[in-house]
A and B are shown apart, each in its own frame.
Chain A
């Protein structure tokens, strides 16, 4: 029973990281109906920037903030420079550009920082395991950071004019443009935010899985599974799905399939969702008129 509780709590901790990345994916999906296959590699790139800053002697939290800002600008630039000309292109072209970005980010990361596995510091180290040994300080801390980020995103979208404008641009670009919202820039902001959230997820997961250029590939698959499970049309659903997938991964890994097949478990979750409830837990079913 204690072991189960332990798996549950650490599942929630990893789930928080999946939830952030799921949210980043869903934000871009909602605005553009594209799935950013490069989201994970962008987050890895950001995490290496953080590592470079920390190794240069910058205090952790300052490096954290700087990385988030740099990632935001990077995401914004990618949308403006690379994705914007592709807005009207068929789905295959945009998927192709995402795959191209994935290759470029992965390769450039390996080129600058080498492919050797590195350890990444956690700001929450040094304490004893908390809650009677059920959860490590890093797990508790990273869950806290994740919840803070998710809360901030929620407040931003619900209670600011800019958030409202971004939601409007995603929901109905034509009408939004008519009322004076600069839809193109709203998309770019969405990309920036998604990249920033991804960077936080990268920095939180790196102390657990160690840093290498392919670090986020597995995390990204779990984020896909989380987004689909929660409903790819619903940000709150994506967050819920991310947490759920983290718990399923940990408990399934401990009791059912072992650690060797963790990625296969994510694939199974994806297939199961598509078979049983394609709209996801909180998503709405998409109906098309014929």
Chain B
């Protein structure tokens, strides 16, 4: 997977003209729905953008760095609550909550990663699993009720578009999310293409060799985990703004599992995979409900296992293979 994406990168670099055209077309295709779709469809697309940022975060640590996290929902929740508390209690403007959520989540991510990541193996998966299960309980805790609003949660209001722009709040939120997502993807793409990116992949593919080459494993892994938690936290803050509400039960263990499923189905270690996975998360629950009203979770689980068997590189991997067969490379 990593090899093919770096190949794609070199071939694109050889043709800078094509690349600029493709980027411009992509940007246009992303902006256009804001003026074409109904508010409901637009809200769905906004959600796709938000989950794409969250999955990008998870992909950095689990896909590219090979450290399995089953608890990224915890960071999504933390980001959402930081955003909601700042907006509701301190009248912070919505856009300023994102950097705050980023900082807090990076700090907490670092703290969680520190004990779990100096050891190899499945310790991170275990710790994050426990974290994900414990989060709703912490959010409901009476001692924190002054901040979190306990079981009731916090209601916030949808931001107005900047004065002078003739947009509806939903249109503005979509464009705002799109901007944040573009920034996040640019940041990760930039992080992955250089020396640090090679170290990240080396740690996943052969930790012993990476260490022998002078890559400080534990230090890298904890920092990457912090970056990953930061991205997912920003997505959480955006999510809170989009649904105008946070409550403990929206951040159950199920959310972490959903993110994990989105990661695998979208495509591990692929930037495009984060977008595909996000689309899966948003649109497939409806389909799963149609397949089996009684057991949508089972449909989800079967899809997950089927992907691991039949298409371990996910939707993005399939798309890349089809594109290569069609001669686009």
Residues of chain A having any CB pair with chain B under 8 Å:
33-35, 37, 82, 85-86, 89, 91-93, 95-97, 99-104, 106-108, 110-111, 217-218, 221, 224-225, 228, 260-264, 266-267, 270-271, 274-275, 278, 286, 288, 290
Contacts and interface: CB of A to CB of B under 8 A. Distances in A.
Given A99-B261, A102-B301, A103-B301, A92 B62 contact: yes
B129 A224 contact: yes
Interface string B78-105: 0000000000000000000000000000
B296 interface: yes
Contacts of B268: 92
Interface stretch (B8-16, B48-56, B137-145, B233-241): B137-145
Given A99-B304, A103-B297, A103-B298, A224 B130 contact: yes
11 contacts: A33-B121, A33-B122, A34-B122, A96-B264, A104-B297, A111-B295, A111-B298, A260-B137, A261-B141, A264-B138, A271-B112
Interface string B115-136: 1101111110111011101100
A91 B121 CA distance: 9
Interface in B269-298: 292, 294-298
Given A95-B125, A99-B304, A270-B127, A110 B295 contact: yes
Contacts of A89: 308, 312
Contact of B126 (A35, A100, A104): A35
B115 A274 contact: yes
Given A99-B261, A221-B130, A274-B119, A260 B66 contact: no
B253 interface: yes
Contacts of A96: 260, 264, 304-305, 308
A91 B68 contact: yes
Interface residues of B, number: 50
Contacts of B137: 260-264
Given A274-B119, A288-B208, A111 B294 contact: yes
A81 B212 CA distance: 39
Contacts of B295: 107-108, 110-111
Give 9 nearest A-B pairs by CB, closest first: A107-B297, A103-B301, A104-B301, A107-B298, A100-B305, A111-B295, A100-B304, A274-B115, A107-B295
A266 B122 contact: no
B257 A99 contact: yes
B126 A217 contact: no
